[in-house]
Chains A and B, each alone.
Chain A
Amino acid sequence: MAEKRKFTIPIGPQHPALKEPESFSVALKGEKILGVEIKLGYNHRGLEKACESRTFIQDIYLIERICGICSHSHSTCFIQAVEEIAGLQIPARANYIRTLVGELERVHSHLLWLGVAGHEIGFDTLLMYSWRDREVVMDVLAELTGNRVNYGINTIGGVRRDISEEQIKETAKAIDILEERTKYYVEVAQQETTIIKRLSGVGVLKHDDALRLGAVGPTARASNIARDIRKDDPYAAYAELDFKVITDNHEDIYGRTVVRLLELMESYKIIRQVLEKLPAGDICVKAPRKIPAGEALSRYEAPRGEDMHYVKANGTEKPDRVKVRAPTLANVQSVKTMLQDRNLADMPIVIAAIDPCFSCTDRMTQVTDLADNSRQVWDWEKLRSHGIEWYRQRGVDFTALNNKLKQRL
């Protein structure tokens, strides 16, 4: 348009389109995007490291807090690895309850995504509607587990809460309401012109590109890759349940919207089957406090795609190493391809369409020295001493307290 020369605008670390701090430097010519530089690492919390100094039981609750949306996914994935190392056989009822909570979580995550996508394209009515309906599933989760997020239902060897007959009836009722509402959203997505105009042909990720960049979850499935851990490598109760892997050949954001909406319908189907087939019996087996030495890799289909946890135990009650590969890490590379030569207006929705969760993804913080632009990664010791020094400069000094503590000990 008016500006012919190239200029760079910063989307993030603080920007209304982003729900978490991350930085996208967008090189623009007029309204056209020439290139994008993605910088993560604003939200690194060092959870993997923190896991090593806590027991396995404590780690479940820590791991659950990796992500507020797919908390059950992370804790189940971690526990599956631990159970594999310990050689525990989980009761069937526990597996079904895990599946139930996992699917309810997928429902709430996809409805949340639908609202966010609506907001990013300036369609706030969709946001208000889908988040209102999301409250139904949040209430069910609160009823079943006691919490709206971070359910805390998993434990090594099974689950911590049983489900009563009455709760099954209530859940079935809620699923009926949600199914009806979701049908309405499918209709809206297929008929509303401005939605179709804003979503189709935007953020295109070709089948081959999706394979090459290792996309997972709905992002991959909308590029016609039938990749779903629930089918490929069944865990929990999925092997005994009947459901379809939804794929779509639109290869754009419209396809991703359709995939997520139809996956909601599949989730309702799975939840109904779980409620029907729920086997009787125990919900938990006794697990040893000390997990025998060994290592395991566990995979889980989180709402955003394949989640992967690696756990190494050394025979004590604390793990030797925990490694988390959140789905966003697999998908974030494809954003660059999707944004090439697109309009600035498509930027928020393209980023939102992979359903990013950056605090789950951050594994390190890179420090850029503004004076000479050099970059370095700090190790644990340096980070710790920097933290102590930072607080000391602001008048928070624990030296005296530490000395006192040393004398007492």
Chain B
Amino acid sequence: MIKELFYLLIFPGFLFISAFALAGEYIDRKLYARFQNRVGPPWFQPLADLIKLLAKEDIVPCDANANMFKLVPVFALTAAVASIIYIPLWQSSSIYSFPGDVIVVLYLLTIPTLCFFMGGWYSTSLFARIGSVRTLTQLFAYEVPLFMSILSAAVLADSWSIKDIVNFYNSHPGYLLFNGIGFVVSMIALLGKLEKTPFDIPEAETEIVAGSFTEYSGRLLAIFRLTLDIEMVVGAALISAIFIPFGLNFSPVPAFIITVIKIELVIAMLSLARTIFARLRIDQMVNFCWKYVVPLALTQLLINFLIKGFFR
């Protein structure tokens, strides 16, 4: 019992993942600033922002459904924190590894997005409603290619468990070369999931203020922001475990350090994408995803089926 609570609340659960998420946000913001020729924030800025928001007043709009409005951020955070338990961090197996955990992680990562939608919808502000509708529209565009690209790697490894996928690619690193397209597709989809430029359409500040989060303030906004950071770290960890699994078969300490470096690398790539693109329109985003990204993911799936059929 104590051990389980330790896993859930301290390591690798809530406390550790929150600290890691804040570090991830710092890396993202600092790199973004340096790419733009700015100085950027000091290392404690994300933590300071969080503490500041936690100390502020929660304002619930009169027309909003108060219970839903307050509960939705907690749902989002819970789902994001729960997903880290199934991600391998210092060995090829996660704490509660079981066949099918890759699907569970993908589903747990979808819940925060649905919560953003519900939070925006129940706050009844016009800007929040437009933002939440955009969140959902965008979800349908990137979720399918994300699932397909991650699962095509699983198809080649012939397993639905992250542990077996990691072990398979570590013993046959050559097969990783065929997953290049899947890696690119999942990075694009992760940008959409995290609502980062060029896919920050649901919270486009110059159009709809802050989208779903317009009416949120204080603690509730802090929880949402922390959720987004955790989602970023978990998403990056999932991608690095599936597509660049090297080092996870070492002894725990070097494996852990290598994993952290890989996650930061994925975050750095996300910041680079954020720097060099302008925001797309929602129709352009949906078009782009269904016209180019989904066919790419399908190609990846086909390639992996063929390789599996002929070579394995």
Contact = CB atoms under 8 A, between A and B. Distances in A.
B206 A120 contact: yes
A347 B207 contact: yes
Q: Which of A16, A122, A195 has the most CB of B within 10 A?
A: A122
B36 A16 contact: no
A129 interface: yes
B290 interface: no
A124 B284 contact: no
Contacts of B280: 194, 197-198
B133 A17 contact: no
Interface string A189-202: 00010110110000
A198 B278 contact: yes
B130 A121 contact: no
Contacts of B36: 124-125, 128-129
A194 B283 contact: no
B126 A194 contact: no
Contact of B277 (A31, A194, A343, A346): A194
B37 A1 contact: no
Q: Which of B37, B38, B206, B278 has the most CB of A within 10 A?
A: B278
Contacts of A124: 36, 197
- The 10 lowest CB-CB distance pairs between A and B, nearest first, are A122-B279, A123-B278, A17-B206, A128-B36, A194-B278, A348-B206, A345-B281, A9-B126, A121-B278, A194-B277
Contacts, number: 81
Interface string A1-34: 1110001011000011100000000001001000
Interface of B: 35-38, 126-127, 129-130, 133, 136-137, 197-198, 200-201, 204-209, 275-284
Contacts of A17: 205-207
A15 B206 CA distance: 8
A192 B208 CA distance: 25
Given A3-B133, A16-B209, A122-B204, A129 B37 contact: yes
A132 interface: yes
Contacts of B200: 122
Given A1-B133, A3-B129, A198-B280, A345 B37 contact: no
Contacts of B129: 3
Contacts of A125: 35-36, 275-276
A347 B127 CA distance: 14
A16 B205 CA distance: 6
Contacts of B205: 16-17
A148 interface: no
Nearest to A14: B209
A27 to B, nearest CB: 12
Nearest to A116: B206
A118 interface: yes
Nearest to A196: B278
Contacts of B275: 125
Contact of A345 (B38, B126, B197, B204): B204
Q: Which of A7, A118, A120 has the most CB of B within 10 A?
A: A120
Nearest to A17: B206
B206 A119 contact: yes
Interface string A111-150: 0000000111111111011001000000000000000000
A341 to B, nearest CB: 13
Given A7-B126, A16-B205, A125-B276, A343 B198 contact: no
A237 interface: no
